[in-house]
A and B are shown apart, each in its own frame.
Chain A
Amino acid sequence: MDLSQLLADVPTLVAVIIGVPAVLAAYIVGGEYLVRLLPDKLRPSVRPWIWVGPALAFVAAFLVYPVFGTAYRSLFDKQDNFVGLSNYAVQLGGFPSGGAWIAIRNNLYWLVFFTLLVLIFGLLFAVLTDRVPYESPIKSLIFMPMAISFVAIALIWKFMYSYQPPGEPQTGTINAVLSVFHQDPRLWVQDPNVANQALIVAGVWGFVGFALVILSAALKGIPGDLLEAARVDGAGELTIFRRVIFPLMMPTIVVVGTTLVIFALKAFDIVYVMTNGNYDTDVLANRMYKLITIPDTGNAAAVAVVLVVAVIPVLIFNLRQFRAVEARR
């Protein structure tokens, strides 16, 4: 790490390290002082707004404004002429294989398979690790991929899927395992038939720890005497899982599921690093990125708006479920 650039401008460094907390504190103290000037009745309604003020301002400036700015940008073409909805016509036209439809189809694959696989494996590991004494180390191990960036995960799996012609020593883990069983090595990422699945597997590997940790916590929240009672009544483990554990964990499963759906719709790193959208693996985020580099910001903005519109219902559903889980506490 080259710290010399950082230390080249000491006054700015001082301003940031001391100034930012100091200014924040001064703002809050000043705000409190102003609130105290108000009559008692008004204080509880004004005070929260002062405290939340800076955060709200940031959200408005960096989240809300860009959303409307993007939507506005999507109505213009490469030369900044107003073209109305024609960018949307380009992106959403040509069903089933033109425009953005292959990307939309792939996002749907991700949505269904990524979510299902992460949930299934997360649940499986949660239930299994619950019963063993070495639960903690195993959960830490499974959670570790969450600590690395998805670009790193994509690179790792790119190596895992490496191919050498049959007869040569295999440099990719998957093909090496195949060669142990005397099978011919095959293309994974460059084969349009399995490329999507190959990418999703990499994504699942990276994300299963997240689901495991949350579902495991929910599992432990199930009252022990319910399970005892079920066992006393003569229910087998599988029945207990189906009739007692699974229904009680449902709210958490739904919350985790919707988080996964949102992630699946945003998937970018893995696709960009492993295939750059070739071999039928393009996704909306990657498509948007490629459009920006042309630069064709109007079309890129149109794709972004499509993505936002697709995510909004999921977001609302997620929020409602989250509130339901909170209410149950």
Chain B
Amino acid sequence: MMGLRLGSIRVLALLAGLAVLAACGGSGSSAGKGSVHVLAVWSGSEQASFEAVLKPFEEQTGIKVLYESTRDLDAILQTRVQAGNPPEIAAAPSPSTLTTLANAGKLVQLDNGILDMSTFNAQYAPGWISLGKINGKLYQIFSWAAVKGLIWYDPKNFAAKNYQVPDSWDSMINLQSTIKGAGTTPWCIAVESQAASGWPGSDWVKEIVLSQAGPDVYNSWWQGKTKWSDPAIKAAWQTWGTVLGPGNANVYGGKNYILSTNFVNGGDGLFKKPPKCYMHNQASFITDNFVKQNAGVKAGDDFKFFPLPDVNSQFAGAHVGAGDAFSMLKDTSQARALIKYLTTPEAQAIWVKRGGKLSPNKSFDLANYPDEITKQVAQVMTGAKIFAFDAGDLMPTDMRNQYWKAVLDFVSDQSKLDSILAKLDAVQATAYK
């Protein structure tokens, strides 16, 4: 440092000054018509499908869509919102995550200028629209839907053993005993899903709650007004226990398999020769996994479904469904264009044709459904007398996490039901504040 010539000091100072100038003046020069960031949970084949949906949009408008995927969407979205760096558009399987953000004022209202509300109201059933409204303002739209409570089975296996598709809860329990008596476990269940492990089991319980206790109890339950230890809710868990059997005897691989197998592989046991199980309860999007993971398996020939029978004939025709909601977090012209695009039946058709999704849009052309099975699922959705949105998705994050954990605990040891429900009540007491 002692021997620095004045000349090199001058050069350094010049460089430093230039750099500061460049940094101040040179930002924001993105190329083209702009870009929009989308954050969602889809990866693997689902991501490929979503990107196929975005492709025509990018080609028509020249806007670049930068898609980012994470399974831990709640955490990432919250962090980025708090950091002041949210993606322009976020998808989340759970409206409750987005509701928290809407209440904090972080979402852009969609029904005063961004969407063409006359078209929107014509194309979507009131149920789907009101799900997206918070305090009467529209903050989220639903692009795709899924139906839960579909029991998948291999018709060839049923025919081989002369099993009849059950049309009532009792006949399903009878079928269950028959299959067990013949030496195979009737059910395949798999609940592993990394940070969300337990959710497939929670689907079982909420479907039983809706069908056994009815929509009023169902709604007051996810709203935190009915306790988990309430006899109606406890009865639902016990009913599931009769499906699982004591010590999970009715399920392939017992507790070990249920807890350690990822949900995408849950139905693979249906297609093994000899079959490991005969029935698998899963939402409509599992068909994509059936086909991709089991060589030569085709919809209709190798797998069909029957809706979970009504537990209580008083609440016949009740089904649980879920959907993929989108919300806007930053109001830019590119984000507006994208969210408008995502409400159109044409955009939704792209993914529907690839399999695994349904469209909630009323003007959706049924011919777009890739096969007879998906069409039948769509008909279950539109024809359901009581169609309820996924209760777990509507609960606050910590309640939902405890719900999933309760599933794991129940599968591990059904006799601990009371202490499991007590823990759920404890979380419920603070989660809804």
Q: Is there a chain A Cβ closer than 8 Å to B52's Cβ?
A: no
Residue among A11, A18, A272 with max Cβ neighbours from chain B (10 Å): A11
Q: Is there a chain A Cβ closer than 8 Å to B13's Cβ?
A: yes
User: A16 to chain B: which residues have CB within 8 Å?
Assistant: 23
User: A189 to chain B: which residues have CB within 8 Å?
Assistant: 260
- B197: nearest residue on chain A (CB-CB)? A278
0/1 string, B279-319, CB within 8 A of A gives 1: 00000000000000000000000000000000000000000
0/1 string, B67-104, CB within 8 A of A gives 1: 00000101100110010000000000000000010000
Using known A-B contacts A290-B401, A292-B78, determine if residue A26 contacts B23 with beta carbons closer than 8 Å: no
- A189: nearest residue on chain B (CB-CB)? B260
- Contacting pair A294 B22 (CB below 8 A): no
Interface size of A in residues (CB-CB distance below 8 Å): 41
0/1 string, A165-197, CB within 8 A of B gives 1: 100000000000000000000110110100000
- Contacting pair A22 B23 (CB below 8 A): no
Q: Is there a chain B Cβ closer than 8 Å to A279's Cβ?
A: yes
User: B253 to chain A: which residues have CB within 8 Å?
Assistant: 164-165
Using known A-B contacts A9-B26, A11-B27, A276-B194, determine if residue A293 contacts B12 with beta carbons closer than 8 Å: no
The one of B26, B75, B257, B259 in contact with A289, judged by C-beta atoms closer than 8 angstroms, is B75
- Contacting pair B15 A190 (CB below 8 A): no
Within 8 A of B (CB), among A102-127: none
- Contacting pair A11 B29 (CB below 8 A): yes
- Contacting pair A273 B23 (CB below 8 A): no
- Contacting pair B27 A272 (CB below 8 A): no
Q: Is there a chain B Cβ closer than 8 Å to A15's Cβ?
A: yes
- Contacting pair B26 A293 (CB below 8 A): no
- Contacting pair B405 A26 (CB below 8 A): no
User: B408 to chain A: which residues have CB within 8 Å?
Assistant: 190, 278-279
| Complex CA distance for A78 and B397, rounded to whole angstroms | 13
- Contacting pair B433 A22 (CB below 8 A): no
0/1 string, A256-291, CB within 8 A of B gives 1: 000000000000000011001011000000000110
Q: Is there a chain B Cβ closer than 8 Å to A309's Cβ?
A: no
0/1 string, B251-269, CB within 8 A of A gives 1: 0111011011100000000
- Contacting pair A190 B30 (CB below 8 A): no
- Contacting pair A23 B78 (CB below 8 A): no
| Complex CA distance for A190 and B13, rounded to whole angstroms | 61
Residue among A26, A163, A293 with max Cβ neighbours from chain B (10 Å): A293
| Complex CA distance for A8 and B252, rounded to whole angstroms | 54
Q: Is there a chain B Cβ closer than 8 Å to A45's Cβ?
A: no
| Complex CA distance for A290 and B156, rounded to whole angstroms | 45
User: Within the complex, what minimum Cβ distance (angstroms) separates A54 from chain B?
Assistant: 14
- Contacting pair A29 B4 (CB below 8 A): yes
Q: Is there a chain B Cβ closer than 8 Å to A295's Cβ?
A: yes
User: Within the complex, what minimum Cβ distance (angstroms) separates B86 from chain A?
Assistant: 14
Q: Is there a chain B Cβ closer than 8 Å to A25's Cβ?
A: yes
The one of A28, A29, A165, A296 in contact with B398, judged by C-beta atoms closer than 8 angstroms, is A296
Using known A-B contacts A276-B194, A292-B78, determine if residue A23 contacts B260 with beta carbons closer than 8 Å: no
Using known A-B contacts A9-B27, A11-B27, A293-B74, determine if residue A26 contacts B260 with beta carbons closer than 8 Å: no
| Complex CA distance for A278 and B406, rounded to whole angstroms | 10
Q: Is there a chain A Cβ closer than 8 Å to B384's Cβ?
A: no
- Contacting pair A26 B16 (CB below 8 A): yes
- Contacting pair B194 A273 (CB below 8 A): yes
The one of A14, A186, A192, A295 in contact with B256, judged by C-beta atoms closer than 8 angstroms, is A186
Q: Is there a chain B Cβ closer than 8 Å to A19's Cβ?
A: yes
The one of A20, A165, A187, A292 in contact with B259, judged by C-beta atoms closer than 8 angstroms, is A187
| Complex CA distance for A200 and B22, rounded to whole angstroms | 50
The one of B252, B260, B397 in contact with A187, judged by C-beta atoms closer than 8 angstroms, is B260
| Complex CA distance for A295 and B97, rounded to whole angstroms | 10
0/1 string, B405-427, CB within 8 A of A gives 1: 10010001000000000000000
Within 8 A of A (CB), among B1-35: 1, 4, 9, 12-13, 15-16, 18-20, 22-23, 25-31
| Complex CA distance for A164 and B79, rounded to whole angstroms | 37
- Contacting pair A292 B75 (CB below 8 A): yes
The one of A9, A79, A162 in contact with B29, judged by C-beta atoms closer than 8 angstroms, is A9
- Contacting pair A32 B1 (CB below 8 A): yes
- Contacting pair A15 B78 (CB below 8 A): no
User: Within the complex, what minimum Cβ distance (angstroms) separates B51 from chain A?
Assistant: 14
User: A278 to chain B: which residues have CB within 8 Å?
Assistant: 197-198, 405, 408
- B411: nearest residue on chain A (CB-CB)? A190
Q: List 24 A-B contacts (CB under 8 A).
A: A8-B29, A8-B31, A9-B29, A9-B30, A11-B29, A14-B26, A15-B19, A15-B23, A15-B26, A19-B23, A25-B16, A26-B13, A165-B252, A165-B257, A187-B259, A189-B260, A272-B195, A276-B194, A276-B195, A278-B198, A278-B408, A290-B401, A294-B397, A295-B82
